[in-house]
Each structure stands twice: as C-alpha cells, then as structure tokens.
Structure 1
Amino acid sequence: MVALMTSKRAYNWFVSLVAASCMVLYGYDASVFNSVQGSANWVAYFNNPGDNTLGSINTAYTVGAIVGGFFIGGPTADYLGRKVGMGIGCAFVIVATFMQTFSPRGNIGCFIGGRALIGIGQGIALTAGPIYIGELAPAEIRGKIMTFWQMFYSVGSFICFWIAYACTRAPQLGEWDWKMIIIFQLFFPILILCLLPIIPGSPRWYIKRNNDIEKARSALRRVRDTEEEVEDEILQIREALEYEKEAISGGYSALWKDKSLRKRMYLALVINAGQQLTGQGSLNTYSTKIYQKVFTHESQISLINALNATFGILFTLNTIWFIDRFGRKALLIGGSIGMGLCMIIVSAVETETPNMANGAKSEPVGISIVFLFFLFILFYKPSWGATVWIWTAEVFSMNVRAQAVGMASQTQNVANTIFQQFFPIFLNNDGFYAFYLFAGINFLLGLFVWFFVPETKQVPLEEIDALFGGANHVTQGEEVLANQKAANAREVHEAHEAHEKPGTVNVENVEFR
C-alpha cells in the first residue's frame, strides 16, 4: 500500500534532505582534490608535488575523517545531539575551506592541514546525518529517503566538477582556476547551518539522553500524521531503551559484549571498507590521473568528470525504485557482479589496444573506456553506493547507534587511507592492469553478502535486532516496563496493607509525653 504524500510526510522528507545535505560536503570535497590536481596553476603553486605527496594530501583527509568519525562523531551525536553534530561538522568545513584556499604559495603543509581539518569535520557530520534520517523517517520510506544520502554525494561531485570544467574554459582566472573550485565549498555548510535551527531534533535522542518524553512527542508530531502514530512510536522507543538499559548496556561497550551487536559491527566494518575497495574510491579521487593515460586535453578530462557526476545523480535515483522492492541484499550482490565485469572489460580494452604517437588512445578506444566507467557507476550508485549507507544506518540499536555508525562509516576512510596512498604509484607502474584487482575484490564482496548479510528491508528500527540472533527490543522492553509497573503496584499494595492492618501502630501518629 502506497502512503499518501501528506503535508507532514512532505515535511519529513524536507528535514531528512537537510540532514542528507551533509553528504554534499563529502561528495564536493572528494572531488575537489581530484579537480585541482589537474590544474597546472595548482601544480606550479605548490612546486610540482610528486606521487607520494599527492597520496599524502589524500591521506591527510582520510586520517582526519577517521579521527572525527571514530572518536568524536559518536560522542558528539550522543551527548550533544544529532543536529549539533551536523552543525559542528559544518563549522570545521568552513574553517578548513579558508585554510586550503588561502594557503601561502609553496606551503603544501597548510593545504594538507586544511585537508585534515575538513576530514575531521566531515567525520563528525557524516556520523550524525544518517542517524538523524534513520530516526526521523518511518520504516516504510526509510530506504527511499536514505537513497538521497548517497545521491547528494553525487550532487556534491556534480557541482564541483562542473565548476572545475568552467574554470578550465577561463584561462584568465590564473591561480584562481583552482581557488574558485575550493571556495565554492562554503555554500552548503553555511546553508545547512542556517536550516538546522528550524528542523526538529531526534525523538529517540530526547528520550535516551534526558528521558524528555514531551520533547520527543513534540518532534514526532511535526513528522507523523496522527496522534496514534506518535504515541505508538514513543512507546516503542521507550520499550526498546528500557530493554537495552536493563539487559545489554547503556554504553558503547555493548558493541563488544552483546553477540548480536558484535556480529553487526563486523558485517558493517567489512561492507563499508568494501565500498571503497570496489574501485569507486580510486575513480573518484584519481579519475583525472586515470584519464590522463587515455586523453591529453585538460578541459576534455574535466568535461568527462562533470558528465560522470551528472549521470551519478541519475543512477543513484534508481535506488528509490529498487531499494524497498528488491531489498538491500539483492542490490549489493547484483552491483558486485556488474562492477566486477566492468573492471575486467575496461582493463582488457585499455591494455590490449595500442597507443597513438602522442601517448593517448584512439578516439573509439577512449569513448569505450569512458562508457565502461560510466557503466561501472550505473552498477555502483544504487548498490554499494547508496545501500551500504542505508544498511549501516538502520541495523544498530539505539544504545550504540551513533558510535557504531561513526566507526563503520569511517572504515571507508581506513580502507581509503591504506589503498589510496599507494594507488597513484600502482597506476603509474602497472597502468590499467590495476583494475583487475578491483574486479576480484568485487566478486569476493558479492559472495560475502550472499553468505553473511541478512535482509533488513522495511523492518522497524526497534525490531531489527531479531534478524541478527538478538532479542526483539520492543517485545522485551514491553516485558521490562510491565514488570516495573507490576513491582510498583505491589509496593503500593503492600504499603497500603501495612497501614490498614489491625493492631499495628503508626509511629508517626504516636504522641510521646
């Protein structure tokens, strides 16, 4: 049954899209360094950095993101709130953008420092954002709304790459051809900071942090159509939290103490690392250097990158139709097979065809390679792009959700830090043979999902534990609350009986003379 788009349902989409805009920061920034390293002015400004330095610039961002996501994002989202977490992340991005744009000439250290700081900010924001969406969205549309989380990554890349392309067509900009690309990164964090005060807080956070039922009720009333929906959800949240507090742990230690949560953590770590090892991380960061092996003109490469980002938006939209129809598992497996085949074919096409006199490929070969990389994105975006984020944000129980999502999502950057440091050297030494490695990884990831990852389609957040061998937190929490009420009633009854029993003396009423 398709739910009607009521005004409150539309508002639910709006607040979720505000949170999803944090992903624009990630998509834009992931494309910034890809774009500026193609600028001859940027290369000259920083004294022609070598492959190791390029790897270090990318590593600085990922290390910052790991610090932000693993150690700061979870506690910030839990103790200060999901909205505050997003706001702090945006503030870091603004400061870091100025550092990168106005780095002194030749001072690559300042530029690298800005990359690290922006990584910390995004690690914090990318922890809070998907949790907020998952906790405000009703189960039946949660997958569709979370699709926009990944799509907004493509929106960020789209904006960045088209600005970069425009700058390559304006040589009069001089050094500002790369500074313009970076400075435009200010727009979305400022926009998010302006919108955060007008959207509701997370009802689950209100109850967990301060047991503030009224604030939780008020937040839900803004995004749920009926009072019955509001009260049912409040009760489910309270029951789940009571069980987690009584039977598991109120702290992050539950991630390792509880067998069900531990299993989820391991699975989330693998698929989030796998997301970056599919080949997408390398394509997004180093596509300019990859295409330089096929094409010779800077503006041509910038146009290809811009078109790639444009199609990325369209390809991600496919997730809306697929995610709650076919489920998470089918998309992940299908995406792995498709990406693996694309990587095999693109490697074969590039390595088995001759170069022309200028070192580039012929036009038909170049077009074929671009088409295959676009086909790779078609498989990646709705599967290992969007679905990994959706699955990660919905599988953890409330008591550990913020920390678990932060740690799992930043495993993407752990994988990136390890792999992207040496990928430029790998590419220079072995060329497109490097992509055979990605093909093998994709097939292995498909097998992993087939055997180990359960389906979470349309399962309420408070009931998802049962899929992983744990207890249903709502059912168990209902029993905990019922036992508490029974105990309270028993105490009142016993006190009443003691007061009424004949022959007893109420000491408080005895007057001593």
Structure 2
Amino acid sequence: MRNSTLGKLRAYWLGCVVCMGGFLFGYDSGILGGVLTLSSFVKDFQYSKAHQTRVNSLAVGLQQAGAFLACLIIWPIADYLGRKKTLMLSSAIFCIGAIIETINTHSMAAFYVGRVVAGIGLGSASVVVPMFSSEMAPKELRGRIGSFFQLFYTFGIFTSYWVDYAVLKRLPATAQQWQIPIALQLVPAGLLGIGMFTLKESTRWLTKKGHHDEAWESLVWIRADESQATVDEMEEIRMGVEIEARETEGLRPAELLERSNITRLATAAAVFTAQQATGATAFAYFGPQYFKLLVNGSASKNLLLTAIFGAIKVAACLFFVLFLSDRIGRRKVLIAGAAFMAACQITTAAVVKAKPAGREGGEVTSSGIATVALIYMFVIAYNLSWGPLPWPYVSEIFPTRIREIGIATGVASQWLFNFVFSLTTPYMISNLGWGTFLLWGLFDAVIAVGSWAFLRETRGLSLEEISHGDFGVLVGGKAGDERVE
C-alpha cells in the first residue's frame, strides 16, 4: 500500500513551492494598477495626466512582451537544464528586473526596462511551473495541484490590492509609498528560487535524459512509497518515454505539423487565448480604473472595491481547489463558466449604458452597486473555471516528446494576448466606456460555444493515456467524456 498521507503532503508541498511563481505572477499583475494611481509615483516619474493612459498601457504591457519573448526560448533551456535549475534561473532574472523597477531613477525608460527584464523571468517561470507540476503530481491529484497555480495567482493579486490600499492610507506621498509595493515582489521571487532546493527533479525529465536511478529516487520521494504500484508507475513512465523516442528520433519542425500534434498545439493556444479574452486578467491589472468607470469613486474607494474584488477571487479559487478540481470534468466547467461570465458582462454593459456613474467621489448609486455585484459574480465564475483550469488542462494534453514546446506554445499565447489586452485596456476604458463590458461579454459567449464544440475531456486519464489517445477526435469532447464517465 502507498503511504498516501506523506505522498500527498509531498505532492502538495511541491505544488506550493513551484506555484510561488503563480503568486509572483498575481502579485505583479495586481500591484501596478494601484501604484500607477499613486500621486507619489506620478510625481517621481514626472508625467502629465495627458500621458497617463499611455503610461498605464506601457508599464503593464511591456512586461507581458518580455514574458512572451521568454516563452519562445525557454523550452530548450528547460529541456537542457531541467525544471529545477530553470526555475532558479527564472527567479534570479525576475529579481534583477524588480530591483531596477524599485530604484527611484525618475526615468520611465529605466522603469520600462525593469518591467521587460522582470517579464522575461516571469514568463519563463509560467512555462516551467505547469510542466513540472503535471510531470510530478499523481494523476488523482493532478487537477487539484495544477490548479494551485491559479490559487496562488489569485492570492498574489489579493495581497497586492491590500498592499496598495495600505500604502495609500498609511504612508505619505513620498517615494517609499510606491517603492515598498514594488520591492515586495522580491519576496515570492526569492522563495521560488530557494524553494527549489527542497524538491527533486522531474521524474519524467530524468527518465528522458537516461538518469534512471535518479528518476526512481525522484518518484519514490514524491510518492513516499516503494510498493509495486510505484514500480508499475515507473515502468509506465519509462515505456511512454521510450516509445516516443523510438517513434520520432530527433525533434524536427515538420513533426509539429503532424495532425495529432498540430491539433494539440492549436488547442493549447486557443485555451490560453480564451483565458485572456474573458476579460478577467484586464480586471486584475486595471481594477481601480474599472471600478472608477463603474462607480466614479475616490482613489481610496476604488482601491477598496478592488481589494474586495481580490478577496472574492481568493475565496472562489480556494473553493474550486478544495471541492471541485478533481470531482467534475474540465470541459463542462469551462463551458458553464464562459456562459455565466458572458451574462454578467453583457448585463453590466446594459446597466452602465442606461445609468452611468454619478459625479466623481460622490455617493455610489444603486446602479453602481448592481454593476459591482455583477463584476464580483463574474470573477467568482472565472475562478471556478477559466482561471484555474487552463493550466492543468494544457499541461495534460501533450506527450512527453513535445510537452516543453506544447506548454511553451500555450503559455506564449497566454502572454501574447495578455500583452495585447493589457496594452489596449486603458484605451478601451477611456474610449469605449460601457462598450468595454459588452466586448468582453461577446468574447465570453464565443468562448462558451467554442468550448462546447471543440474541447476534449482529460479528467481521470494518465498522461500516457492522453498522449497515446486519438486527440484528433475533438468535436463535443466525446472521446474524453466516454472514457471518464
């Protein structure tokens, strides 16, 4: 019998350590929107209100551009160095960028450079974290542990919102007011790098490189067990790696164009593009600006509403991880989540168009309360579906042979559209107003239909079963649904 308690604890520990990358992603996503509203930041970097939209756009968007570039080059590095060393390197690069951001250079150009460097570290980690997690987690916990990334991401956002609110309320408008929130990014980045020393390297990566003794030690450690079940799992992993190596010796670009592989790559790109197109990430980056559009409140009130928004994200994602992650199919949740988000966003657009917010800093109207409630329901739906599920889903659908490239392709798509929407959102808020919510709602409706038509179920299948199955059978997800039900 397996030592299930110790094995689960080690699997959860691995998930917590690697998903500090998710916390870092979330903290960085949430912190800047509030920092950009601080008068101390505007004063130190000396830009006018006329340039505020451009600064908001570039300060967030350039980091996503750096992350996108990292996704294109990180997979051969992860294949050469392994998962642990690559995450350590990612942590170090991010820390360099964060230090550049924190120094009060009075230069937006220098701040932008820091954002790009930090983005390279962040983007690299975002590729390797789900790869490492999926390769090490037991299949019965893979959905839950894979969802840790989103849970830590939402907790990072939650933390950043309350840090922004605290420095606005408690600190004078000096450089320290904006430097402290930015500098605190170094804490999760450092914990990610140092935490790697407590983990074993990926069993599948070690097997692929021919380090079979180390691979066995890694599997025994993470399962806390040397029983026949672990022996059988090790043999299954070895067979899977050997079969893939025999079938296609030497990775060639043409291999990626094979029907099964191109279908997987397209699915990964589509899933992460859809995640960004829900509008939830734009809310995470520009929460204060969105709530100003809804209620036109004071800076303090907008930050408070944003902080509550972050708390709701954490509660919803925690509920998903604890009670839903491995109990219901991925496909059904993604369809229902997108449909509900579409209803919330389109209704918000209708309310804002019919009854716009009152004067700036005034009392919040009943229509304003209604729109805030709709956005809170929207973020609950997101964190029960499209927030956590794309990470484990995409990490599951690739064979070991192209897993690095596949996950990198999916996450690169995530960062590309993260960049596109973070760059355009300030202009959307400024120019479209209520139409911004309508646009997100229409995107969500398209995502719901597309998920119903094309996604396949993966819950309950081992990575080897998914790898060697006919992933080309996609319509209605029937190939996967029939096997798990």
What is the TM-score with the length of structure 1 in the denominator? 0.87
Q: Share of identical aligned residues, percent?
A: 27
Q: How many residues align?
A: 465
Q: Deviations over 1:9-51 (max 9, x none)?
A: 2112111211111111100111121111111111222223432
For 1:501, the equivalent position in structure 2 comes to none
For 2:138, the equivalent position in structure 1 comes to 138
For 1:81, the equivalent position in structure 2 comes to 82
Report how far residue 67 of structure 1 moved.
Answer: 0.8
Alignment match of 1:435 (pick from 437, 455, 458): 437
For 1:424, the equivalent position in structure 2 comes to 426
Alignment match of 1:468 (pick from 444, 468, 471): 471
Report how far residue 323 of structure 1 moved.
Answer: 2.8
Q: In 2, Cα distance between the equivalents of 1:92 and 1:190?
A: 11
Kept after mapping to 2: 8 A contact 1:255/1:265: no
Change (3 A) 1:220 1:154: same
Report how far residue 249 of structure 1 moved.
Answer: 4.5
1:94 matches 2:95: yes
Q: Deviations over 1:127-183 (max 9, x none)?
A: 111111111111111001112111000111111111111101114252211111101
Kept after mapping to 1: 8 A contact 2:298/2:360: no
Report how far residue 449 of structure 1 moved.
Answer: 1.1
SS at match of 1:325: coil
For 2:415, the equivalent position in structure 1 comes to 413
Report how far residue 254 of structure 1 moved.
Answer: 6.5
SS at match of 2:185: helix
Kept after mapping to 2: 8 A contact 1:123/1:406: no
Q: In 2, Cα distance between the equivalents of 1:417 and 1:16?
A: 27
For 1:256, the equivalent position in structure 2 comes to 256
For 1:474, the equivalent position in structure 2 comes to none
Change (3 A) 1:271 1:360: farther
For 1:126, the equivalent position in structure 2 comes to 126
Change (3 A) 1:422 1:247: same
Q: In 2, Cα distance between the equivalents of 1:418 and 1:80?
A: 31
Q: In 1, Cα distance between the equivalents of 2:360 and 2:390?
A: 41
1:31 matches 2:50: no
Give the aligned residue type for 2:66: G
For 2:201, the equivalent position in structure 1 comes to 201
Q: In 2, Cα distance between the equivalents of 1:407 and 1:194?
A: 27
Kept after mapping to 2: 8 A contact 1:81/1:205: yes
Q: In 1, Cα distance between the equivalents of 2:442 and 2:54?
A: 26
Change (3 A) 1:357 1:233: closer
Q: Deviations over 1:291-314 (max 9, x none)?
A: 222233212111222221111111
Report how far residue 360 of structure 1 moved.
Answer: 5.6
For 1:498, the equivalent position in structure 2 comes to none
Kept after mapping to 2: 8 A contact 1:62/1:417: yes
Q: Deviations over 1:425-450 (max 9, x none)?
A: 22112212211111111111111111
Kept after mapping to 1: 8 A contact 2:298/2:361: no
Q: In 2, Cα distance between the equivalents of 1:407 and 1:387?
A: 17
For 1:473, the equivalent position in structure 2 comes to none
Q: Deviations over 1:110-129 (max 9, x none)?
A: 11111111110011111111
For 1:482, the equivalent position in structure 2 comes to none
1:283 matches 2:283: yes
Give the aligned residue type for 1:89: S
Q: In 2, Cα distance between the equivalents of 1:311 and 1:252?
A: 46
Kept after mapping to 2: 8 A contact 1:249/1:399: no
For 2:64, the equivalent position in structure 1 comes to 62
Change (3 A) 1:70 1:252: farther
Q: In 1, Cα distance between the equivalents of 2:330 and 2:46?
A: 47
Q: In 1, Cα distance between the equivalents of 2:361 and 2:119?
A: 36
Kept after mapping to 1: 8 A contact 2:151/2:318: yes
Give the aligned residue type for 1:244: E
Kept after mapping to 2: 8 A contact 1:207/1:238: yes
Give the aligned residue type for 2:228: E
For 2:370, the equivalent position in structure 1 comes to 368
Q: In 1, Cα distance between the equivalents of 2:133 and 2:394?
A: 12
Q: In 2, Cα distance between the equivalents of 1:351 and 1:100?
A: 38
Change (3 A) 1:291 1:227: same
Q: In 2, Cα distance between the equivalents of 1:366 and 1:440?
A: 22
Q: In 1, Cα distance between the equivalents of 2:101 and 2:76?
A: 28
Q: In 1, Cα distance between the equivalents of 2:192 and 2:59?
A: 26
For 1:346, the equivalent position in structure 2 comes to 348
Q: Which has more radius of gyration?
A: 1
Q: Deviations over 1:33-76 (max 9, x none)?
A: 111111111122222343223212222111100111121x2112
Larger deviation: 296-305 or 136-145?
A: 296-305
Kept after mapping to 2: 8 A contact 1:272/1:388: yes
Change (3 A) 1:144 1:357: closer
Q: Deviations over 1:197-223 (max 9, x none)?
A: 1211101111112x0110000011112
For 1:305, the equivalent position in structure 2 comes to 306
RMSD in angstroms over aligned alpha carbons?
1.8
Change (3 A) 1:223 1:358: closer
Kept after mapping to 2: 8 A contact 1:103/1:110: no
Q: In 1, Cα distance between the equivalents of 2:368 and 2:257?
A: 53
Q: In 2, Cα distance between the equivalents of 1:242 and 1:430?
A: 54
Q: Deviations over 1:347-399 (max 9, x none)?
A: 11212114434476733233222211110011001211101111011111111
Kept after mapping to 2: 8 A contact 1:248/1:254: no
SS at match of 1:87: helix
SS at match of 1:302: helix
Change (3 A) 1:254 1:23: farther
Report how far residue 252 of structure 1 moved.
Answer: 6.2
Give the aligned residue type for 2:217: S
Alignment of 1:202-217 (within 5 A): 202-209=202-209, 211-217=210-216
Alignment of 1:315-330 (within 5 A): 315-320=316-321, 321-330=323-332
For 2:234, the equivalent position in structure 1 comes to 234
What is the TM-score with the length of structure 2 in the denominator? 0.92
Alignment match of 1:381 (pick from 362, 367, 383): 383
For 1:176, the equivalent position in structure 2 comes to 176
1:398 matches 2:400: yes
Kept after mapping to 1: 8 A contact 2:357/2:368: no
Change (3 A) 1:252 1:164: farther
SS at match of 2:117: helix
Change (3 A) 1:339 1:360: farther
Change (3 A) 1:248 1:451: farther
Change (3 A) 1:281 1:169: same
Kept after mapping to 2: 8 A contact 1:61/1:117: yes
For 1:153, the equivalent position in structure 2 comes to 153
Change (3 A) 1:342 1:252: farther
